Amino acid sequence: MITLPFKANGSNGDIPDNGSLMLDLRSVQKYYASPAGDYHALKGIDLQVNHGEFVSIIGRSGSGKSTLLNMISGIDRPTTGEVWVNGTALHAMDEDQMARWRGGNLGILFQFFQLLPALSLLQNVILPMDLAGKYSRRERRARAEHLLEIVGLTDHKDKLPGMVSGGQQQRAALARALANDPPLVVADEPTGNLDSRTAETVFALFNELVAQGKTVIIVTHDSSLAKRAHRTALIADGEIVNEYVAKALPTLTPDQLLRATHKVEPRQYAAGAVILAEGRNSSAFYIVSKGAVEVILPRPNQSDVVALELGPGKYFGEMEFFHDRRNRASIRACESCPAEVLAMDYENLSALLHESDITRQTLERAANLHETENSARRAGNS
C-alpha cells in the first residue's frame, strides 16, 4: 500500500484546489512543419479529466497519443487552443514558468525510464526535490528512501540504474515522479518495456495512487491494461473518439469509430421529457451519453411501467432498425435528471454496419433479444 510521506503544504503546490477539473483541453490543434508541408497532429481535441480519475489514452502508432501527452505535460505547446491543468493555463506560460510549474505539480514517467546513469537510484529520486527546492535536505533523503521502500527498492537504493533490471528502473522512475508530491502523474507507455508480471506491479501502483487522490493519465498500447482504468480515451488520426460511441460499438475499428463520432448529433432532454413515443416511426439509433433514460411500457387501464433504465454507453433504436422502423416502446429522460443522447440517423448507421459485419451481427442479436424481452414484459403486464 502506498502511503505518501511528508505531504507538502497544499498538495497541489501553489495552485489552490477550487473543485475545478484536473485537466481541461479546449479545441487543441497542433501542427508540425515538415518538408511536405504542415502536418496536422492534433485536430480540435477536447478532453476533460476530473480530480482523482485514472484515464488511459490508446491509439495506433502515429495517431497522436504521445503528442497529446506532451500537451498535457507542457513538454510541447498547442498551435491553437487551451490547455488547463488544475486551474493553470499551460498554454499561456513561458518556458521558465513552465519548468517551475512542472517541477512541483507534475510527475512524468517515461517508457525508457530516463534515469541519470551516473546517479544512484536514491540520488535520482532526491534530484527533483533539489531542483524544486522542496523540503529540507534531511527530509529529501527520508522522503526518497520511503518512496523507494514503497516501490520495493530499499535494498537497491545505492545501486546505479545499469545495475538493476528494467522493471526495477521503472519502479525507481515512478518513485522519482512522486518526489515532489504532484497531484497529476502522466506516463508514456510505462509498461511497454516490461514483462507482464512487472507491468502488473506498476499498474497496481497506479491504482493505489489513484485511491489516495492522485490523478493518473497513461498512454499505453496494451488495451487489456487500458480497460482497467476508470476511462479510456481512444485517439485516431489526431482526434478523440467519443467514449460513449466506443463503449456502445466496441467491435468497430478505430477509424470506423472516428467516423461514427462525426455522424452522431448530441441531443439534450429535460428530466422526464419524451425522446421516442411508442408506435411512431423511428429514424435514428441512439446512444446515451449523459444521465439516464427510461424504457416505458404501457399497461392496460393502469399507469405505464418503467421496464428498463439505460445509462451512458447504452443504446436504443436498434430494434426498429432491424424490424419495421416503428418504436416498440416509449423512451424518456429519467424523471430525476436530464439526459443527453447521441443520435445517428439510420442511413449513416446502415453505411457503418455495411463496413463491419461483426457490428451488424452484434446489433441484430441485441435487437432480437430486446424484442423478445419486451414481448415477455408486455405479456406479464397485461
Say yes or no to pLDDT of 319 above 80.
Answer: yes
Among 12, 84, 61, 32, which residue's Cα sits nearest to residue 219?
61
For the domain 257-381, what is the CATH code? 2.60.120.10
Among 150, 174, 172, which residue's Cα sits nearest to residue 161?
172
d(CA 122, CA 156): 9
Distance of CA 207 to the CA centre of its chain: 14
Average pLDDT over residues 264-269: 96
Query: Locate cell 432491424: which residue?
Result: 322
d(CA 124, CA 346): 58
User: What residue spans define the domains of the chain?
Assistant: 23-240, 257-381
At 11, the pLDDT band (50, 70, 90 cuts) reads very low
CATH level 3 topology of 23-240: Rossmann fold (3.40.50)
- pLDDT recorded at residue 148: 93
Say yes or no to pLDDT of 355 above 50.
Answer: yes
Query: Locate cell 443522447: which residue?
Result: 341
What H or E segment, with its residue span, contains residue 40? strand 39-49
Average pLDDT over residues 318-339: 89
In the three-class reduction of DSSP (H, G, I as helix; E, B as strand; rest coil), residue 348 is classed as: helix
- pLDDT recorded at residue 380: 65
Among 114, 122, 119, which residue's Cα sits nearest to residue 157?
122
Per-residue pLDDT of 172-217, as tens digits, reads 998 999 898 899 999 988 877 777 777 787 788 888 889 988 999 9
User: What length does the chain have?
Assistant: 382
d(CA 344, CA 289): 13
Q: Is 353 exposed, middle or buried (0-12, 13-18, 19+ CB in 10 A)?
A: buried
Residues 6+ apart with CB under 8 A from 51: 17, 21, 22, 183, 213, 215
d(CA 26, CA 47): 7
Among 365, 40, 4, which residue's Cα sits nearest to residue 178?
4
- pLDDT recorded at residue 27: 94
